[in-house]
Structure 1
Amino acid sequence: MLADQWKDIVTAPAFDEHTVVAPGIRKNSQNGRGANCGAEDILSNGSLIFVPEGTAAFVFSQAGIEQVITAPGGFEYRDGQASVFDEQDRRGKGIGKILLDEAAERVGFSGMSADEKRVAFVNLHEIRGLRFGTRGPLAYNDLFYGTDLEIYAYGSFSVQVSNPELLVRNFLPANVFSYSLDDPKSRTQLLAEFLHSFISAVNALSASYRISQLPSQTSAIAAQIISEDDNAGTWETRFGLKLVSVAVENIEFSEQSRELVRQFSEKKMGVRAYEGVSQQAANVAAQQMIAEGVRDNGLGDGGGMLFGMNLASALNPQNASAAAAAAPAPEADTGRSLDEQIETLRKLKDLLDAGILSQEEFDVKKREVLGL
């Protein structure tokens, strides 16, 4: 009883990266001198509670949460056991009454106090580096590729306590004063809900973003998750725990999806390359085919090229062969059909080869036949 008369100085311990709640520690010595040997669950009047920046202090009594201190600074506790070292208690009761009342109360509990007071601190800083990863492939409906692709996603997210009292009442297990998000039980539940929300948020972006653009859309993903009415989007209203950020480190295709994207890219590149040169290539090919066809009918290289170029200029190179097969070619000024022109030129060429016509005479007749 006398040991518990000491006034206490309670402050927060050092938090690690993922600690959400930590029990208060009592300062029991200074420079190696002095010692407070009172019970850990007794808090005397006049004790001081030091609340560091970025934390909130909770005082728990037998009835649960007795007091919440969210502002940083030092606070004097007045709802504990009377202490002979507290001036207000001494003036109000006197030293003798304080000791006699406390001794009489403890006799009935085998020397124990009926009071129980504990102090715990909630971490209000952003809790970062909570890793997540998909155990199996996720389906991503990529409208750019027009198919469902399988992906694996890896990264981390961060949370922050926005309502410490709601966290203590709804998230913290009963009668627990130390809690970390490294705890497998809490981590498993949070990760399961986060992944459900992550999948939904990622697929909501499929109409606007290709799968390769997802890592640059982490802010949009986080906003989508927060705005959800289920899973991670409910953390703030359920637990007072707000999702702050999502960092997608890597998104990988499954082997099947990677092959689909590769095939698509190859075909797309081939189509674009063809689209860029198709008109020019078709024109050149048509002219060459026409020139070769005329040359094979006896007009020679020079005549075939001249005739081919002339005919190509009058026909649509894209369907020259079809047009020639479907309808007769336009007649020259002489009124002859294309077949007649070719037959006439063939005969003139025979006369030239036989020496009956000179080259000059042949050229004049050729121009007449072709209407040049």
Structure 2
Amino acid sequence: MGIVNVAIDSLGGVLADQWKDIVTAGHFDEHVVVASGVRKVGQNGRGGNYGSNDVLSNGSLIFVPENTAAFIFSQAGIEQVITEPGGFEYRDGEASVFDDRDRGEQGVLKMVLGQAARRVGYAGMSPSQKRVAFVNLREIRGIKFGTRGPLAYNDLFYGADLEVFAYGQLSLQVVDAERFIRNFLPANTYNYSLDDPHARSMLIAEFLASLIVATNALSSEVRISQLPSHVNEIRHMILDEGDNAGTWQDRFGIKLVQVAIENIEFSDDSRELIKSYAKKKLDVSAYEGVSKQAADVAAQQMIAEGVRENGFGAAGGMVLGMGLAGMLNPRNASVESDAGADCVPDTTESKGAPGGGAESARALEDQIEAVKKFKELLDAGILTQEEFDAKKREILGL
């Protein structure tokens, strides 16, 4: 009775599988890479009869949407690849009584009984099992990545290895569907999404390894805070790399299309290091500014003191000394040409001078000698204090 039941089941299965199928791609969300083919079983309440899910009859139609590739799998692997969009008639499946070519070549009765007889030996199952799957050829965007531990970045600006956490998104695209199916997709898998952490863990691990290499290649020129503005350079470096993510296209038929670094966070130790560096730099700049100003004032005071001690008296010498100090470079006591131009009166001798420190120095010596002579007249009682002060202002241009 068992064989009889199997024979009856086989005949019923053959008759059910005579229907030609209409197969198209299933639902693709943003991160689906492979989706099983879906058999259309009804339209406006009609067409409810259908056979086995893994049997394709001759004359069945396979509709391939744009930006997808259709794969027909048999027990041995990939049987056929369809990369052009449109509708295609399948010819390598089970013979169908509804197919004109099959009926003409085999006849209806011979075809049905022959298929049923073959199935009896397989307990009613068809030995010719076929599956259809579709590969997404669009750019798959929004694949998030983030470092589990800190990445080392040798920042030459700070002169230290900094630890950072990087976060962002990348996008991928299958550019060689057959290579992707053969080398990347797990065996006997007809649905595959990069939302599954296990599915993309290897890709993210290799990408982060390439990211470290690419970012550190920029460390001699780019401060770590400027990395987000150099993502295109980073992407090209990753693609040109001979390891990890740079080999995806040759190994898996996958191309890295875009990288977006959204955020870079310093580890606690690196953050403290940068704060300490910035504070020390600010302290050094402030100290240098204060030191320069203090040194200039001290030098001018020394020059003024020297002039006063050379015969000008306390009050007049200090006035002349400070005026002279303003004309001299406090670093080397040379005459500053700009200052001298402001302080030296417009005499006939200075107007025609071709310029330079020597001419200015001679004019200053003449002024000092003139003031000394008038000081002697003051000491002798020939000039009053008011007359001496007026002459001194005239000579010095005060």
With the shorter chain as reference, the TM-score category is 0.7 to 0.9
The alignment partner of 1:2 has SS state of helix
1:199 is matched with 212
1:83 is matched with 96
Mean Cα deviation higher: 191-200 or 146-155? 146-155
Q: 1:197, 1:231 within 8 Å by CA — same for their partners in 2? A: yes
1:1-372 → structure 2 map (5 Å cutoff)? 1-266=14-279, 268=281, 282-291=295-304, 299-310=313-324, 313=327, 316-318=329-331, 359=385
Mean Cα deviation higher: 258-267 or 288-297? 288-297
2:360 is matched with none
Deviation of the 1:216 alpha carbon:
1.0
State how far apart, in whole Å, the 1-side matches of 2:47 and 2:234 are.
55
Identity of aligned residues (%): 66
State how far apart, in whole Å, the 2-side matches of 1:72 and 1:312 are.
87
TM-score by length of 1: 0.81
Deviation of the 1:312 alpha carbon:
6.2
1:325 is matched with none
Which amino acid is 1:303 matched to? G
Deviation of the 1:32 alpha carbon:
2.0
Deviation of the 1:359 alpha carbon:
3.8
Which amino acid is 2:160 matched to? T
Deviation of the 1:266 alpha carbon:
4.8
RMSD of aligned C-alpha atoms? 3.7
Deviation of the 1:253 alpha carbon:
2.1
- Flag the 1:140–1:296 CA change in 2: closer, same or farther, 3 A: farther
State how far apart, in whole Å, the 1-side matches of 2:49 and 2:286 are.
84
Q: After superposition, what is the alpha-carbon deviation per residue over 1:271-290, rounded to whole angstroms, capped at 9, x for unaligned?
A: 66788898777545522454
Q: 1:131, 1:157 within 8 Å by CA — same for their partners in 2? A: yes
The alignment partner of 2:262 has SS state of strand
2:355 is matched with none
2:353 is matched with none
State how far apart, in whole Å, the 1-side matches of 2:178 and 2:326 are.
86
Q: 1:287, 1:309 within 8 Å by CA — same for their partners in 2? A: no
Q: 2:307, 2:320 within 8 Å by CA — same for their partners in 1? A: no
Q: 1:290, 1:312 within 8 Å by CA — same for their partners in 2? A: no
Which amino acid is 1:142 matched to? D
State how far apart, in whole Å, the 2-side matches of 1:158 and 1:214 are.
18
The alignment partner of 1:31 has SS state of coil
- Flag the 1:91–1:275 CA change in 2: closer, same or farther, 3 A: farther
Mean Cα deviation higher: 169-178 or 303-312? 303-312
TM-score by length of 2: 0.76
The alignment partner of 1:5 has SS state of coil
State how far apart, in whole Å, the 1-side matches of 2:100 and 2:122 are.
27
The alignment partner of 2:190 has SS state of coil
State how far apart, in whole Å, the 2-side matches of 1:121 and 1:363 are.
105
Unaligned stretches of 5+ residues in structure 1: 321-331, 334-340, 368-372
- Flag the 1:45–1:144 CA change in 2: closer, same or farther, 3 A: same
Deviation of the 1:296 alpha carbon:
10
